[in-house]
Amino acid sequence: MTDHLQVAKPDAASAPLLAQDLPLFGRHLIEASAGTGKTYNITRLYLRLLLERELPVQQILVMTFTRAATEELRGRIAETLRATLSQWQQLAKQDPFFSALAQRCDGDKARSLLQAALLEMDEAAIYTIHGFCNRVLSQQAFESALPFEVTMEADVSQLQQQAVQDWLRQISRQQSDYAVLAQHGWHQPEQFIQAFGRELAGDHQLINGFAAYLSDDSIALLTAEYQQQQAAMLTLLAQQQQQILSDLLEPHAPLASSWPDLLAGIAGEAKHYPVKLATAFATFNKYRAKAAAVKPVLQQLKQLTSLAKELVTSQQRQQQARAYQLVIDGIHDIRQAMAAAKQRLALLDYDDLIHRLHNSLASAPDGALSQQLQQQYPVALVDEFQDTDAAQYRIFDVLYPAARDDALLLMIGDPKQAIYGFRGGDIFTYLQARQAANYRWHMDTNWRSVSAMVTSYNRLFWGADLAESAADVFGFGIHYEQIGSTPHAAACKRPLRDPQRDAAMQYVWLAEDDAPAAGADGFHLGLAAWCANEAKRLLAQAQLGGEAIQPQDIALLVRSGREATFVRQALADVGLDAVFVSNRERLFDSPEATELCHALQGIWHCHNNRQLIRALASPLLAFDAQDLINFQQVEFESEFEQARTLVLELRQTWQQKGIMALMLRLLQDHFQPSSSRHERATTNMLHLAEILQQRSRQYKQPQQLLNWLQRQLTLDSAEDDYLLRLESDNALIRIVTQHGSKGLEYPIVFVPFAAKYQDPAKFGSRYIEVYRYQDPESNAAVCQLGQSDLALKQVRLEGHAEAMRLLYVAVTRAEHRCYLGVAPFKDSHKSALGQALAMPNKGDWPSEISQLTAVDSNHSAIISAADSLDLAMSAPQPTAPQQLQAASFKGTIADDWRLTSFSALTRNAHQVRLDQKEHSDPQSELALDAGHDEAPSELRFTLKKGAAAGNLLHDILEHVDFSDANWHAALNGPVQRFGQLEPEQCEDLIDWLEAVLKTPLPDLYDSQRSFCLAQLPWSATLRESEFYFPIASLQKRQLAKLLGQHRAQKEAVILPGDEQLSGMMHGFIDLIFEYQGRYYVADYKSTHMGNRLADYQWQALNLNNQSHYYDLQYLLYSLALHRYLQVRLADYQPEQHLGGVYYFYLRGMSDQHNEEEANYPGVYHRRLDIDLLLALDDLFAEAAEVVQ
């Protein structure tokens, strides 16, 4: 038999699979394209092993990746065995497979073997790969050197969190190292794990892409060279100043006027070098012809500019290299800490199972363990092999050598469906196994979809006309085999009848002019609306198998939760319900978890009026707003006590009958969920009830159970039991992620955003910092920090290939019809769909698609989304009634002492949290547009109003070094936390903030001079400075009087709320900076005042400032700064050191400033009246003296 065994040539073509002819020895790689009957063939091969090789079920090892898949396989195999046993003679006459099997096997013996196999099916060796490893390590503990007392732990996230926290705690002792991590957003455990979780859990090779910059030598040489040329350049410019300026033609006087800025910039540090200005002078082509003497000067200026850029880039990369090396060393330390903790606790996780077994086998390939396993499992069948990683494959490689004639390894999968790289699936392992296989096969008939559907996606992924050579759109040597169709396919039993459309593949084109809004969001809205309207039409007009199409026959496949939101809202707008099947949100992050916690706290602590009222406000008890108001009035005391009596009865139920009895009573008698999420809320509450019932066995006292529930609200557990369940089993339209759709099938599929492109090497408009790729030389998985040509190339190559495979998975879910949404998204020609259609850059989508549909008109068609978009977009949008939600308060209350802030002063709020920051003003954020009807296009005007946007902008500006040209690196963390920006919007955000940093700011003491934030080094700034100062018996009218003097207005200023203040004044100052020896207070405002820069002139800013009492705010902040400087500056004089205030209205700031107009849009500025500030200081000092 060994004569037959040889490794297939790397370029050898595969043969069509016939299960009855496959040799039952050697290594076989079977490519099972979508819908080609993979499970069907697995059961047939299993049957041959039982009957031809007469192996018991305990020796036929079958492995796949999930428990659900193992149970499905077990059931399908048992079903096949029963059918074979009962219909042996009939099948042998009708089916070629069984006919061949009957010729090789004696009928009586076959029946005996089948009966034995069915009796022992519960003992069949059908496992997940991790389950197999766990079984081997447990049964062969001695041979595998595994401790006898070891615990299997699926979720080690808490151990990982603790290890990361310990490491960061050590790093925080070195302020410079911690600051480096903070600059990249990696200084918090959650952020570090989010960025490097895969590396912490794996053994990837870690590379510092900027390692060459770690040495100071090259930087020192560059710095010396720059300083030498800098000095020479300044001397030369001073000598040639008159010649250069006189040779500028008169119309270009503005360039001449910037000469002082050029000299000042060159004289400064390299990182502040005026690159744009120097380039403008050096490349200016309008000097007088006689100025030959100027040209050598300009040439040297070009050289200095180039050297400055090189030096700054090198300095920046050195900083990045140090950060990357710090992370790499940290990952190694955390891995070691995790290993030590597991060893100490005798724990193993899933990955440990794989590595332990592989290490045991690899250390002795011919040892006792290998021999025992080869005898116990002479054959193995690995399902979904394309998702196998390198460590898993190495186990099979040792157990089933290619040269053995008594071993059989069947690797069944589809490389075109390898889409789980993010969780360890490795296409390169599949390719390696393909090269080592003795035989290669492919399944060539689709048993899922109708003929037209099969032909249309054959044409799409063939990359050319089917009569021509394939274009190899999948890359990496993965060739597409044309798939045949059959009239016996499952879908043919229920033919689709649609009076309006015939083609199986429908390309839906949305032109830019037809989109309901500008940019990517317009395409999302338009395509989602069209798909919703088409789904509604299909439900009304089309039929499947002579019956009306049902909602569950329709699926919309998306890439992300954000895309799912667009689709779900569009469906709701036309009155269609849908369920997001792929929702991976945590149950304890849901509002129901918080509401339940509030309700249970109020029930258990019902004598605490505050907690009781909060419980009564929850949907679980559902008292209305008027009841809650009445309960706090003396005249309604009896009604309040009746409510307390009801809650006391619930508390008694909890004590006597347990948490489940309480939950059932609440849900049956009182629960009133919001109509907009009735099913979701009910499902979550029932899920929470089950979990609390399970945990009550461990936490028997109600307070213990409450403590556990409160902890879950703050943790981030990875347990599947704590993920949201599907909210409804009703017949609803399915929304599924493309990753989650693998293995599923639907009669009708929509891929609404098929032409959307996302650059694998970018986050928004900025290049990523962490590059994961397969090194083509070592064939090893690599994680590289910092860009290189190789990393950039490989990440894009692998990312584009995976995007193509994801499109293949999405399209092949369709049985009858697939709609592909197409719009001119940015770089859409680079999308997987664009690549499959060979779209040229800036190509015409309708033209390219029309070329395909002209040849394939029976199977493919193009539709204009504009035809029915208006109808979809005009659908009414029902507004759900607002539901009461209890506000959380975690402070303590003193009757005669309050922690007060500016917000509390002006909004009649009596108490603030110690950590409360005043980043957003709801009143300000609701400011009306200035009456302009034109639709804004810039992000500064379209970014959603409200606290979230304000927090995003503050978060960024708090952490960036204004003077650092690479300030964009600080965007990643805040943008990820914000989570509502498309990649192209990130680029707009960078441009906007770049303009903010370079917006001219008037010098309050020299009207001829201005500066900008970009000129302020980090050392000249303080961010988010927190302050306190005492208040005792301060009358508000005294404060209001001073504010009126500051405004120089005759009308009295009235501050809302109580007349007397006592306690502490507390606040956070967004920015304090020093400029020209003076210190200034600054604040960021994200207020929307209109859609033009003209809406942000000083007069409008002053009105906004006073209407929201921001002038009182900056007086208080200036007082805090004044008191701070009194302590910190030995020679402090307020007239000399206090500068004034700047309020930055970020939406209106622009670097396109015309100094001749003497206006500064978006910049509110004012010098301080020192006498008034000192009077304010005296006012608070007098108040403080009352209590001394």
| pLDDT tens digit sequence for 22-78 | 999 999 999 999 999 999 999 999 999 999 999 999 999 999 988 889 999 999 999
CB 996 within 8 A of CB 1149: yes
Sign of CA dihedral 850, 853, 857, 863: negative
> Do 841 and 915 fall into the same domain?
no
> Do 597 and 542 fall into the same domain?
no
Residue 994 in any domain: the answer is yes
Q: 1041 or 486: whose pLDDT is higher?
A: 486
- CB neighbours (10 Å) of residue 719? 11
- In whole angstroms, give the CA distance from residue 778 to residue 785: 18
Which is nearest to 511 in space by CA: 965, 1025, 865? 865
Residue 10 confidence class, pLDDT cut points 50, 70, 90: very low
Residue 396 confidence class, pLDDT cut points 50, 70, 90: very high
Residue 282, marked binder: no
Q: What is the pLDDT of residue 422?
A: 62
204-213, 332-341, 872-881: which range is least confident on average? 872-881
DSSP E strands in 966-1007: the ranges are: 1001-1002
Question: How does pLDDT run across 548-588, given as a tens digit for each residue?
Answer: 999 999 999 999 888 998 999 999 999 998 888 766 667 77
> Do 669 and 565 fall into the same domain?
no
> Do 1094 and 1010 fall into the same domain?
yes
The contacts of residue 839 (CB under 8 Å, 6+ apart) are 828, 829, 833, 845, 848
CB 611 within 8 A of CB 632: no
% of the chain with per-residue pLDDT over 70 = 87
- In whole angstroms, give the CA distance from residue 944 to residue 830: 29
Q: What is the mean pLDDT of residues 621-644?
A: 83
> Do 737 and 689 fall into the same domain?
no
- In whole angstroms, give the CA distance from residue 167 to residue 958: 25
- In whole angstroms, give the CA distance from residue 641 to residue 230: 82
Residue 466 in any domain: the answer is no
CB 153 within 8 A of CB 348: yes
Question: How does pLDDT run across 271-280, given as a tens digit for each residue?
Answer: 889 998 888 8
Q: What is the pLDDT of residue 880?
A: 46
Residue 477 in any domain: the answer is no
Question: How does pLDDT run across 670-682, given as a tens digit for each residue?
Answer: 888 876 677 778 8
Strands 1163-1167 and 578-580, by their bridges, are: unpaired
Q: What is the pLDDT of residue 1183?
A: 44
> Do 679 and 747 fall into the same domain?
no
105-109, 229-233, 498-502, 909-913: which range is least confident on average? 909-913
Q: What is the mean pLDDT of residues 976-998?
A: 85
Residue 472, marked binder: no
Residue 32, marked binder: yes
Q: What is the mean pLDDT of residues 527-548?
A: 96
CB 492 within 8 A of CB 450: yes
Q: What is the pLDDT of residue 908?
A: 46
**Mean pLDDT for all residues in the chain:** 85
272-286, 321-335, 718-732, 1169-1183: which range is least confident on average? 718-732
Q: 249 or 580: whose pLDDT is higher?
A: 580
Residue 759, marked binder: no
Residue 383 in any domain: the answer is yes
Q: What is the pLDDT of residue 546?
A: 93
Q: What is the pLDDT of residue 911?
A: 37
The answer, yes or no, to whether residue 372 has pLDDT greater than 70, is yes
CB 28 within 8 A of CB 434: no
The CATH number that applies at residue 620 is 1.10.486.10
% of the chain with per-residue pLDDT over 90 = 47
Residue 841 in any domain: the answer is yes
> How far are the Cα atoms of 759, 803, 833, 840 from residue 830, in angstroms, in the given order?
9, 10, 8, 9
Residue 1063 in any domain: the answer is yes
Q: Which of 722, 755, 770 is a domain's end point?
A: 722
Question: How does pLDDT run across 260-272, given as a tens digit for each residue?
Answer: 888 888 998 888 8
The CATH number that applies at residue 409 is 3.40.50.300
Residue 38, marked binder: yes
Q: What is the pLDDT of residue 556?
A: 97
Residue 1182 confidence class, pLDDT cut points 50, 70, 90: low
Q: What is the mean pLDDT of residues 283-309?
A: 77
Q: How many domains does the chain contain in total?
A: 5
> How far are the Cα atoms of 573, 845, 943 from residue 514, in angstroms, in the given order?
19, 15, 22
Q: What is the pLDDT of residue 913?
A: 38
- In whole angstroms, give the CA distance from residue 617 to residue 622: 6
CB 456 within 8 A of CB 859: yes
- In whole angstroms, give the CA distance from residue 996 to residue 1146: 7
Q: What is the pLDDT of residue 679?
A: 75
CB 510 within 8 A of CB 522: no
Q: Which residues pair with 965 in a beta bridge?
A: none
Q: What is the pLDDT of residue 717?
A: 55
> Do 26 and 57 fall into the same domain?
yes
Residue 1070, marked binder: yes
Q: Residues 1083, 1131, 1177, 1178: which is the catalytic one?
A: 1083
- In whole angstroms, give the CA distance from residue 616 to residue 796: 55
Residue 37, marked binder: yes
Residue 879, marked binder: no
The answer, yes or no, to whether residue 443 has pLDDT greater than 60, is yes
Tell me how far apart the 2 most distant CA atoms of the chain are, in Å.
Answer: 111
Give 488's Cβ-side CA count (13 Å radius). Answer: 3
Q: Which residues pair with 900 in a beta bridge?
A: 1065
Question: How does pLDDT run across 821-859, given as a tens digit for each residue?
Answer: 999 999 999 999 999 999 988 888 999 898 888 877 778
Most confident of 244-253, 396-405, 524-533: 524-533
Amino acid residing at 409 = L
CB 869 within 8 A of CB 512: no
- In whole angstroms, give the CA distance from residue 369 to residue 357: 10
Residue 577, marked binder: no
1083 is catalytic: yes
Residue 161 in any domain: the answer is no
Q: What is the mean pLDDT of residues 131-147?
A: 80
Q: Which of 680, 705, 722 is a domain's end point?
A: 722
> Do 254 and 134 fall into the same domain?
no
DSSP E strands in 34-191: the ranges are: 60-64, 126-128, 151-152
> Do 414 and 359 fall into the same domain?
yes
CB 340 within 8 A of CB 162: no
Domain that holds residue 682: 587-722
> How far are the Cα atoms of 119, 840, 872 from residue 469, in angstroms, in the given order?
51, 19, 42
Residue 33, marked binder: yes
Q: What is the pLDDT of residue 1076?
A: 94
Q: Which of 671, 699, 722 is a domain's end point?
A: 722
56-70, 175-189, 853-867, 897-911: which range is least confident on average? 897-911
- In whole angstroms, give the CA distance from residue 1072 to residue 1123: 13
Q: What is the mean pLDDT of residues 181-197?
A: 88
> How far are the Cα atoms of 354, 461, 1066, 1179, 1187 from residue 1063, in angstroms, in the given order?
61, 72, 10, 14, 11
- In whole angstroms, give the CA distance from residue 741 to residue 557: 7
> Do 1025 and 1171 fall into the same domain?
yes
Q: What is the pLDDT of residue 576?
A: 92
> Do 1031 and 1166 fall into the same domain?
yes
> Do 1018 and 908 fall into the same domain?
yes
136-140, 485-489, 596-600: which range is least confident on average? 136-140
Residue 928 confidence class, pLDDT cut points 50, 70, 90: very low
- In whole angstroms, give the CA distance from residue 859 to residue 1068: 64
Residue 1003 confidence class, pLDDT cut points 50, 70, 90: very high
Residue 459 in any domain: the answer is no
Q: What is the mean pLDDT of residues 584-605?
A: 85
- In whole angstroms, give the CA distance from residue 847 to residue 853: 10
